[in-house]
Structure 1
Amino acid sequence: MNGIRTDELDRPGDMASSTGTHAMVVFGTGVDCYLSNLPMFAPPHDFQVVLSVELDRRGRRALGADRRHGFGGVHTFDAEPFQIAELDPGRPNSRTTLRGRLFRGHVGRGGVPIAKDIVVTVRSVVYYAKLDPSVDRELLTHLCFGRPGQLYLAHRIARRPSFDQIVAVRLIPGTVTDMLGSPLPDDAHQLGFEQAQPIILGQREFFGQRLRTGEIAVAAFRATASVGGTHGFLAELAVERQIHLEVADLA
């Protein structure tokens, strides 16, 4: 299966109820670019989805030019209407392309289009889940994904109210241990995850749910093997910058 999903099979109404225009945060680089759906608890937007993608040439040029000219804010992609449930990696012939517009800023809050009619190719589904606020998923608090040397954390959205947050993080060398705290060979620069790994964040300098630049948290990768093959490990993650935070839409 390509990607992580937290349900077994979508309910029969998921396909029809997921049709709409879906806006997504754009982050990463041309080498590893990602889209993250902007979720709400109401249909058709009640999905948390993270995709590894490739923008077409016009999209890459527009995004690159905007960043070179100093724009440091968020970019969003406004997809033409489609059924977001088609991205479910458990479905035969799941959707592999999206078409839409690229915006400087938030598409629903004064964003400015910088490229129209661009095509996005879905390389892999990093995470896919239909939101169900009646299910208690608070134990697994975050999702970790990315390539070695450039990791990201996304808050795992569960009970209402919640929030949507994406941050860039750095795994601190020398902090990888087994679940009992015994040091493991330092594989910090080798750790990367094509599919999102569910983790639990604990304290070091982390004192709340929302992550802030400069914070350091202890991450428990309970279901993930280290590079050396140890099943489950601990590591310290430093938050380098916030990419996206949304609270109001998930209140």
Structure 2
Amino acid sequence: MKHILLLFILLSSTALANTHQHNTHNTDRTHSYEGFHGMALILAGDKVLASHMPLYAPPHNYQIVYEVTTDDTHLKIIKNALNESVKKQAQITILPTKFDLSLLINKMTPTLKTTVFNGHFERGGYALFSTKLTFKNPLYVKKLAITKPKKAEFDLIKVSATQGLVIHKIQSKPSYDSLSLIPLSNGKYNGELKCDTAINTALKSKLKACFKNAPSYLETRDFTVL
């Protein structure tokens, strides 16, 4: 009887230990999304959009676009900077302080302390100022599906009644990340949602020809074959 009782205690202890390890593992997986996640800003009419700069490696393998806002003063400065960046064919990027990307993946609306950069925050850009940005409206959240399609694939999201955003679905290398603003008529796009392009130096021109507007954001370096 004593042997049976001892065996029962040992088995129960093992089960509890395994359960604790499993729960700890799940917690670690959740926290793995916590880190630094840079984003590009674009101006869509009177709205400022933030696009997560994805990578193939988890946890960065998500294409995410949000409408963001901040206090009136900083919002005006951001819009002016974005207007200037369009003229100079430059970009405005942001780097929030360390946060859990799963907040955006799950379409929550956090307010994050953020540094705004003139240029790419990792490639020679310089800090303009810091502000708190509220991610007020999730427009697009999609995990990268690394496929080898025969042609480029795009998604279209509605930003307003008169403007949409065409997003290139990142595929296997070589690929690219691009955002193109397009006009909508009665909430609909009258053009074709396709652009059969090769990855080369003429990509920007080809996207402009396809969607009648130069891409507001284009990144190829992170998706090239090394």
TM-score (normalised: structure 1): 0.64
Equivalent residue, structure 2, for 1:215: 209
**Structure 2 CA distance for aligned equivalents of residues 29 and 23 of structure 1:** 19
| Residue 207 of structure 1, CA deviation | 4.1
* Structure 2 counterpart of 1:82, from 99, 102, 107: 99
* Structure 2 counterpart of 1:239, from 193, 196, 212: 212
Q: Which runs of 4+ in 1 moved over 6 A?
A: 136-140
Is residue 201 of structure 1 aligned with residue 165 of structure 2? no
**Structure 2 CA distance for aligned equivalents of residues 156 and 247 of structure 1:** 13
Structure 2 residues not aligned, in runs of 5+: 1-25
Equivalent residue, structure 1, for 2:41: 26
| Residue 138 of structure 1, CA deviation | 7.2
| Residue 61 of structure 1, CA deviation | 2.9
Q: Structure 1 residues 81 and 24 mapped into 2: Cα distance closer, same or farther (>3 Å)?
A: same
Q: Which has the higher contact order (CA 8 A, sep 6+)?
A: 1
User: What RMSD, in angstroms, separates the aligned Cα atoms of the two structures?
Assistant: 3.0
| Residue 55 of structure 1, CA deviation | 2.6
| Residue 43 of structure 1, CA deviation | 2.9
Tell me, yes or no, if the aligned pair for 1:89 and 1:125 is still in contact at 8 Å: no
Is residue 164 of structure 1 aligned with residue 137 of structure 2? no
Q: Structure 1 residues 142 and 207 mapped into 2: Cα distance closer, same or farther (>3 Å)?
A: closer
**Structure 2 CA distance for aligned equivalents of residues 58 and 30 of structure 1:** 18
TM-superposition CA deviations, 1:3-32 (whole Å, max 9, x none): xxxxxxxxx565322221111010115732
| Residue 107 of structure 1, CA deviation | 0.7
TM-score (normalised: structure 2): 0.70
Tell me, yes or no, if the aligned pair for 1:59 and 1:102 is still in contact at 8 Å: no
**Structure 2 CA distance for aligned equivalents of residues 53 and 40 of structure 1:** 22
* Identical-residue share of aligned pairs (%): 22
TM-superposition CA deviations, 1:129-157 (whole Å, max 9, x none): 23242x56777811212213222211112
**Structure 1 CA distance for aligned equivalents of residues 137 and 149 of structure 2:** 24
**Structure 2 CA distance for aligned equivalents of residues 44 and 102 of structure 1:** 23
| Residue 68 of structure 1, CA deviation | 6.1
**Structure 1 CA distance for aligned equivalents of residues 150 and 63 of structure 2:** 15
Tell me, yes or no, if the aligned pair for 1:48 and 1:128 is still in contact at 8 Å: yes
Q: Structure 1 residues 35 and 208 mapped into 2: Cα distance closer, same or farther (>3 Å)?
A: same
Secondary structure of residue in 2 paired with 1:87:
helix
Secondary structure of residue in 1 paired with 2:222:
helix
Q: Structure 1 residues 131 and 109 mapped into 2: Cα distance closer, same or farther (>3 Å)?
A: same
Q: How does 1:155-194 map to 2 (within 5 A)?
A: 155-171=168-184, 188=185, 190-191=186-187
Query: Which structure carries more strand by proportion?
Result: 1
Structure 1 residues not aligned, in runs of 5+: 1-11, 172-187, 194-198, 217-237
Equivalent residue, structure 2, for 1:56: 71
Is residue 143 of structure 1 aligned with residue 155 of structure 2? yes
User: Could you tell me which amino acid in structure 1 is paired with residue 154 of structure 2?
Assistant: H
User: Could you tell me which amino acid in structure 2 is paired with residue 143 of structure 1?
Assistant: D
